[in-house]
Amino acid sequence: MSARQAMPAIYAMSGIAATPPAPAVFPTAAEPPARAGASAPPVPPMPTHPPRVSHAVRRTPWQRPWPWTARAACAALTCHVAAVVVNCAAEGVVDIGEGGGFTLGALLVAVDATVLLTVLARTHRQSLDEGEPDR
Amino acid sequence: MSFLDPRTLAFVLFACFIAVSFLLCILAATGNDDPTEFYLGTSGLSPMQNGLAIAGDYISAATVLGTTGTIALAGFDGVLIASSTVLSILMFMLVMSGPLCGHGRFTLGDVLAERLSERPARVNTAVVCVVVVLPLLLVQLNGAGSMMAVMLGIPGSAAVTGCTIFIGSLMVCYAALGGMKGTGFIQIVKTFVLFAAFVLLAVLVLKRFSWNPVSLFGTAADASGFGGTFWQSGRQYGDSAAGRLDVLSVQLTIALGACCMPHLTMRMHPIRGLRAARAATTWAVGAVTTLLVLIVIVGAGAAAIVGGAGLRTADPTGNDTLLVLTRALDPGTESAHRSLLFSVVACAVIVTTLAAVAGLTLAAAASLAHDGLAKVVFRGKLSPDRELAAARTAIVVVGVLAVVLAVVTQHWNRQVLLSFTFAAAASALLPALFYGTMWSGFTVTGLRWSLYGGLVLTVVTMTFSPSVSGAPLAVFPDQDFQWFPLHNPGLVTIPAGFALGWAGSRFGPRPRHVRRPAPEPEPYATYPG
């Protein structure tokens, strides 16, 4: 082995053209180290730099998909306001039951209650579900 | 037998509750040796217990007395108010529980100071929190004082004043001794007591109508004086355009205002993790919904049994409807304090009020002591012992102020103070909280504009509304300086509060970049080797 091959850094600093050393090889998930047993889980590759956030994919809150809680809250509020507006504006007498007393206002109040119960049931189910992350 | 005297029994029941609640507070106080335990003491409770405590905070005397009265006097409009209360706690569960739970925060100031400049966020939020909470505190104290005076059978304003001072003293003791944990235990007890009282009333009402709700609601419509239109909208504020807008305004105000009240948001801080928060709030929604169904039955029963004319004669604002109904259900007694049923129900209402005022006082005092004093005046350098002492002093200050103001406003229409509280919360606190937790572009200028803009707009519109002057049930019925047509200004002030918050952040001065320490080390590994 020549001196140039043995001390590449010194030669590099001195500006003398040298043969570049072979790049270091670090273990990856595809190539587990030899001492790892066959039963050991594969080790994920260690990140070497922070992930780059592309400005092209950053979106405002209005463009992002809303979580189901926000959608449920909006649906419940919309149903309730619709029920109130219809009942206030027409006293709920947009009769869709041919005089049987079944009005649009009553229908919207029923929808309002249904949305509420659905959301409540889903929340209860999700709160019991182990799959939901804690934050 | 003297023990079976209803008045004595009511007194014994009330004394038992006070003894039990003091015991709970003293037990809770044993661990309250640092501010974290004082403000977040309920972190060890199960989701069901936390949910019942949240439900207890949600159901105040205003809900119990006011909603029952509105259903009895205005029919469908009262039912809409009950449903908007349920919607409100649903919004609380869906929107607020996520951003507010965990992280060791004590107050709304803590929440907003995480993303905004600390001092202005804390000072402005603390001021608005106290202004929003105080009127609700006055309503509860006045309600409890007058109820206790009637229960004990002592007539006159002086008796109401004395009872208000007594209730105020109890409230201060509960909050100062027990902190968050003590008030949480009291809220749980209160929820059970209130459930028992309303189940009893609903059973008695339904029994009168052969367990037939259709017959109950039909008789209520006939006896109300409105006939078939009783179960249609427009009975509360009239059939005019302003009246119809008022109904919509009340709905928005209750649905959006109640879900951001400081004493409720404070209950979410000790809960660790989103899953536990959802489970707790699901319990709370279930409890509140069940109780409101019972309230609808009792309100309809009041209209059916007593009749609209009798209820209006007793109290045109509807706050005494529950008491009038209990006397009607127990007709063998010659006066209110001789009725066993009345004594039991009055006791439950006083218990409700006591628990509610303790929670409200704690929330207001936390804003003053933690945000104002510990974090702004002393810049976080206060020792735990001194911060705890400051919290207890603030509770006494808030309690004394509330009792004095409650005595002054004893004869005011309580609905006015309630409308103001919820409208101010929805117009000022909600935009700040919503933007502060969900919009990264929100600035301190936007915070100031939304908090003070929403609050000032609410004060101005309420002052010149028919709630304050120019109407028989107004605060000043003999004067007329009203020009704003709505009793509840939420329809105007809530969108204005959101618009001001957005405009302040968008067009106001941008904050200088403040370098903050990273909350925790970055998870990225360094270069190998």
DSSP of B129-197, one letter per residue? HHHHHHHHHHHHHHHHHHHHHHHHT--SHHHHHHHHHHHHHHHHHHHHHHHHHHHHHHHHHHHHHHHHH
pLDDT of B260 above 70: yes
User: Scanning the structure block, which residue is given the tokens 């206030």?
Assistant: A88
pLDDT score, position B189: 87
Which alpha helices (DSSP H) does A7-67 contain, by range? Answer: 8-13
Please indicate, yes or no, if residue A135 is contained in any of the structural domains. no
pLDDT of B359 above 70: yes
Please indicate, yes or no, if residue A28 is contained in any of the structural domains. no
A6: confidence class by pLDDT, cuts 50, 70, 90: low
pLDDT of A55 above 70: no
Lowest mean pLDDT among A40-49, A90-99, B156-165, B334-343: A90-99
pLDDT score, position A54: 53
Lowest mean pLDDT among A71-85, B47-61, B256-270, B288-302: A71-85
Q: What is the mean pLDDT of residues B462-482?
A: 88
pLDDT score, position B129: 93
Residues 6 or more apart whose CB falls under 8 angstroms from that of B95 comprise A69, A70, A73, B259, B434
What is the residue-averaged pLDDT of chain B? 85
Most confident of B74-83, B136-145, B244-253, B445-454: B445-454
Cα separation, B380 vs B430, in Å, equals: 26
pLDDT in tens, A10-50: 445 544 544 555 555 555 544 455 454 455 666 766 666 66
> Amino acid letter at B70?
T
The complex scores an ipTM of 0.78
pLDDT of B521 above 50: no
Cα separation, A43 vs A36, in Å, equals: 10
Interchain pair A61, B93: CB under 8 A? no
Residue of A nearest to B278 (CA): A127
Selecting from A69, A93, A133 the residue whose C-beta is nearest the C-beta of B94 gives: A69
pLDDT of B128 above 90: yes
Give the residue, B233 or B1, on which the prediction is more confident. Answer: B233
Interchain pair B83, A109: CB under 8 A? yes
Count of domains for chain A: 1
Please indicate, yes or no, if residue A7 is contained in any of the structural domains. no
Interchain pair A69, B95: CB under 8 A? yes
3 state SS of A103 = strand
Short-list B390, B389, B360, B363, CA closest to B376: B390
Most confident of A74-88, B283-297, B366-380: B283-297
pLDDT of B418 above 80: yes
Backbone region of residue B380 per phi and psi (left: phi > 0; alpha: psi in -120 to 50; beta: other values): left
pLDDT score, position A90: 65
Interchain pair B232, A92: CB under 8 A? yes
Residues 6 or more apart whose CB falls under 8 angstroms from that of A56 comprise none
Interchain pair B94, A119: CB under 8 A? yes
Residues 6 or more apart whose CB falls under 8 angstroms from that of B506 comprise B441, B446
* A124 CA: distance to closest CA in chain B (Å): 6
pLDDT score, position B150: 80
Q: What secondary structure letter does DSSP report for B40?
A: S
Lowest mean pLDDT among B18-32, B89-103, B436-450: B18-32
Considering chain A, what percentage of its residues have pLDDT values greater than 70? 29
Please indicate, yes or no, if residue A107 is contained in any of the structural domains. yes
Interchain pair A76, B252: CB under 8 A? no
Please indicate, yes or no, if residue A119 is contained in any of the structural domains. yes
pLDDT score, position B218: 87
pLDDT score, position B427: 95
Interchain pair A72, B229: CB under 8 A? no
Considering chain B, what percentage of its residues have pLDDT values greater than 90? 28
pLDDT score, position B522: 40
Residue of A nearest to B98 (CA): A135
Give the residue, B26 or B390, on which the prediction is more confident. Answer: B390
pLDDT of B42 above 70: no
Please indicate, yes or no, if residue A58 is contained in any of the structural domains. no
pLDDT in tens, B159-187: 889 999 998 998 888 888 888 888 888 88
> Amino acid letter at A53?
V
Which alpha helices (DSSP H) does B367-453 contain, by range? Answer: 384-408, 414-424, 430-438, 444-448
Selecting from A24, A77, A132 the residue whose C-beta is nearest the C-beta of B91 gives: A77
Interchain pair A124, B94: CB under 8 A? no
User: Scanning the structure block, which residue is given the tokens 């459930």?
Assistant: B195
pLDDT score, position B422: 94
A78 near B CB under 8 A: no
Selecting from A24, A47, A123 the residue whose C-beta is nearest the C-beta of B282 gives: A123
B523: confidence class by pLDDT, cuts 50, 70, 90: very low
Domains of chain B, first to last: 2-410 (1.10.4160.10)
Interchain pair B98, A69: CB under 8 A? yes
B340 near A CB under 8 A: no
Q: What is the mean pLDDT of residues B449-469?
A: 93
Please indicate, yes or no, if residue A16 is contained in any of the structural domains. no
| Contact list, A87 vs chain B (CB under 8 Å) | 76, 80, 232-233
pLDDT of A111 above 80: no
Q: Are B476 and B468 in contact (CB under 8 A)?
A: yes
Cα separation, A75 vs A113, in Å, equals: 11
Please indicate, yes or no, if residue A116 is contained in any of the structural domains. yes
B252 near A CB under 8 A: yes
Cα separation, B285 vs B269, in Å, equals: 18
| Contact list, B281 vs chain A (CB under 8 Å) | 123
Cα separation, B126 vs B376, in Å, equals: 11
pLDDT score, position A132: 46
Interchain pair A123, B281: CB under 8 A? yes
| Contact list, B101 vs chain A (CB under 8 Å) | 135
B286 near A CB under 8 A: yes
pLDDT of B526 above 50: no
Candidates A120, A125, A129, A132: best to mutate against B (most CBs of B within 10 A) is A120
Interchain pair A73, B95: CB under 8 A? yes
A94 near B CB under 8 A: no
Burial of B518 (0-12, 13-18, 19+ CB in 10 A): exposed
Lowest mean pLDDT among A81-85, B458-462, B486-490: A81-85
Candidates A53, A77, A78, A114: best to mutate against B (most CBs of B within 10 A) is A77
Q: What secondary structure letter does DSSP report for B521?
A: -
Q: What secondary structure letter does DSSP report for B33?
A: S
| Structural domain boundaries, residue A84 | 68-128
DSSP of B380-396, one letter per residue? T---HHHHHHHHHHHHH
Residue of A nearest to B271 (CA): A134
pLDDT of B2 above 50: no
pLDDT score, position A99: 47
Interchain pair A84, B80: CB under 8 A? yes
pLDDT score, position A134: 42
> Amino acid letter at A130?
E
| Contact list, A134 vs chain B (CB under 8 Å) | 273-275
Lowest mean pLDDT among A21-35, B100-114, B337-351, B380-394: A21-35
